[in-house]
Amino acid sequence: MTDLFSKVITNALIFLVITGCDFSKNNDDAEALVHKGLVGAWYHSSDLTRIGSSMWLGKPDVHWDVISGRGNSWSAQWEGYITVPVSGKVNFYAESDRQIIVEIDGAQALHIGGSDDNKEKCTLTMTKDQNYPIRIIYMQHKEGTPFFRVLWSWENHEKQVIPANVLGFTQKQADWWNYRKKPDPSAFDFSKLNIIPAQHHIVYGASGRYAGWPANNGIWSWGNEILVGYNLGYHDPDVSGGHAIRSDMPDSVVLSRSLDGGETWNLEKDANFSGTSVISPGFDFSDPDFAMRIRNDSYFASTDRGKSWQGPFIIKILTKGGNEITALTSRTDYLITGPSECLVFFSVETGLVEADYQDRSFCAVTKDGGKTFHFLGWMTENTDTRSVMSSTVSIAGDHLVSVMRRKHEQRYDDKPAFVSNWIEAAESRDSGVTWNALGKIAETDQGERNGNPPALVKLKDKRLCVAYGYRGYPYGIHMKTSSDNGRTWSNEYVIRHDGATWDVGYPRITINDKGYLVLVYYFTTKEHYEQYIAVSIIDPAELNVD
């Protein structure tokens, strides 16, 4: 056996000892098989280590792609029972271009891709209508769109993939693996969605290119003149669940501009948001053509509506005690409050979050045109839950409302984490010094991805409107409104639900001269499979029916 195979088997055995799972034959458990398929978890590494969240397998015939895969290096295991429809000798087969192990009735039956003693076929003597424990272990060691199949045959019955209706698992197994049932795309009732009319246009899209993440860059507007930033790279069709952008090709931040309120757009030159950070000379924030782009620990500034940029400038944030806050993970979110004064909403890695990301949002102020910044207050009270990528509006006076991307992983030592990703609102009534949570607005997936950041705007009728990408099925762009400054929110408005993969969203939002919402995000459809930058223009009057 190879070292990797030995490690995987060791990890699997340790897992069985810890969980106390019983994989002996279970003749009396037919009534207990209340779920179809197999249940288990995926792992962040290719050797069943660094357990992630739960994962369901309908039948053992899988082609991992950008929707179902988890990246280039990961693994998974599923357990349950297989009910045999015949008595006698049953042949089992495995096919895969990666590594899989199949255990039936507590013993290794099949193994492909991990050692010199591969077993692509085995024969077991089995009894009709008896439930036999089954476990499938999958390991992905490299990128691509791989597959695996587990098949069976017996006398007078040709070889076929093991069907879903003979696989099942118990409620006890479901509870152990923190299983949550996901929507069935083949049976989804789209009539239940509150779909809102919108004009959909393309900001940028080109064959072979990947455009994404407007929320990582920013949107700026001057009436009907709107500028948005996003990343532009090259599309990678050969991925297995990660972002479909080629890592071996260059990518950069670019800008697109609209002069007609968001209907048509022109690609501008590479923004060249790079370089060695220097001390800021300070800026006049009252300049009507001023714009600022913030990313991590530096910012760029423009005094000509983003046609040219100065920077990067060092972001130095000091606490009341004179200590400097470092390890910033910020994106663009700021409110100008005077010629040299601006509230800026940052995030920083704290090491206290129970998740695979460590951000926590906070508010700071600059009173010298952006030369220095001073910490005002944390925007969330709980330190174990991620908060990042805020979007903030001024209600009146010192009253602010912000919406943030939240994430929490309820972790266990020996079973999958229970992952939640959602949008949450908070308010401050003292210009960012203290903050109170207003509660959850909406979930942004079903716990399988990494959520999505929000975009917030105040409408002319004083309502708040939040937009966000939804990375669970059906993949799309959603909105909600609030008539009481973020304390309660409407039912969900669906702007679109035709996403081809989960890799969508990261919106930014503004209002044009007509008072229409201009919502920019990245998207992918069956007709336009390469990620592109989309814009939806929405009449706020449509957001009145719950």
Q: Which two tokens stand for residue 482?
A: 């609030």
Separation CA 427–CA 535 (nearest Å): 28
Separation CA 545–CA 197 (nearest Å): 12
- Written in H, E and C, the secondary structure of 305-341 is CCCCCEEEEECCEECCCCCEECCECCCCCEEECCCCC
Above 80 in pLDDT, residue 17?
no
The pLDDT score that the predictor gives to residue 193 is 96
Mean pLDDT for 412-432 is: 90
Q: Between residues 87 and 26, which one has the greater pLDDT?
A: 87
The pLDDT score that the predictor gives to residue 161 is 97
Percent over 90 (pLDDT), the chain = 75
**69: helix, coil or strand?**
coil
Read off the DSSP letter of residue 235: B
Mean pLDDT for 433-445 is: 97
The gap from C-alpha 109 to its chain's centroid, in whole angstroms, comes to: 36
Above 70 in pLDDT, residue 20?
no
Q: Which two tokens stand for residue 54?
A: 């739960």
Sequence-separated (6 or more) residues with CB below 8 Å from residue 36: 58, 164, 165, 167, 168
Query: Residue 312: is the preceding peptide bond cis (ω within 30°)?
Result: yes
Q: Which two tokens stand for residue 544?
A: 């009145």
The DSSP bridge partners found for residue 348 are 328, 360
What is 190-542's CATH topology?
Answer: Neuraminidase (2.120.10)
Question: CB–CB of 406/438 below 8 Å?
Answer: no
List, for residues 261-279, the tens digit of each pLDDT value.
Answer: 999 999 998 888 999 999 9
Q: Number of C-alpha atoms within 13 angstroms, CB side, residue 374? A: 10
**131: helix, coil or strand?**
strand
Question: CB–CB of 284/291 below 8 Å?
Answer: no
Separation CA 252–CA 245 (nearest Å): 12
The pLDDT score that the predictor gives to residue 8 is 52
Residues of the chain with CATH 2.120.10.10: 190-542
Q: How far apart are the first and last CA of the chain?
A: 60
What b-and-e string marks burial along 23-32, b requiring 16 or more CB atoms within 10 Å of the CB? bebbeebeeb
C-alpha distances in angstroms, 540 versus 86, 200, 395?
62, 15, 18
Architecture of domain 3-181: Alpha-Beta Complex (3.90)
The gap from C-alpha 112 to its chain's centroid, in whole angstroms, comes to: 32
List, for residues 487-533, the tens digit of each pLDDT value.
Answer: 999 999 999 999 999 999 999 999 999 999 999 999 999 999 999 99
DSSP of 164-203: GGGEEE-HHHHHHTT--PPP-GGG--GGGS-B---EEEEE
Burial class from Cβ neighbours inside 10 Å (0-12, 13-18, 19+) for residue 95 reads middle
DSSP of 89-118: EEEEEEEESSEEEEEETTEEEEEESSSSS-
Separation CA 42–CA 416 (nearest Å): 8
List, for residues 302-338, the tens digit of each pLDDT value.
Answer: 999 999 999 999 999 988 888 889 899 999 999 999 9
Mean pLDDT for 12-20 is: 43
Give the pairing of strands 373-378 and 359-366. antiparallel
The pLDDT score that the predictor gives to residue 340 is 98
List, for residues 338-359, the tens digit of each pLDDT value.
Answer: 999 999 999 999 888 877 789 9
Q: What is the average pLDDT score of the chain? A: 91
Separation CA 331–CA 450 (nearest Å): 17
List, for residues 142-163, the tens digit of each pLDDT value.
Answer: 777 788 999 999 999 999 999 9
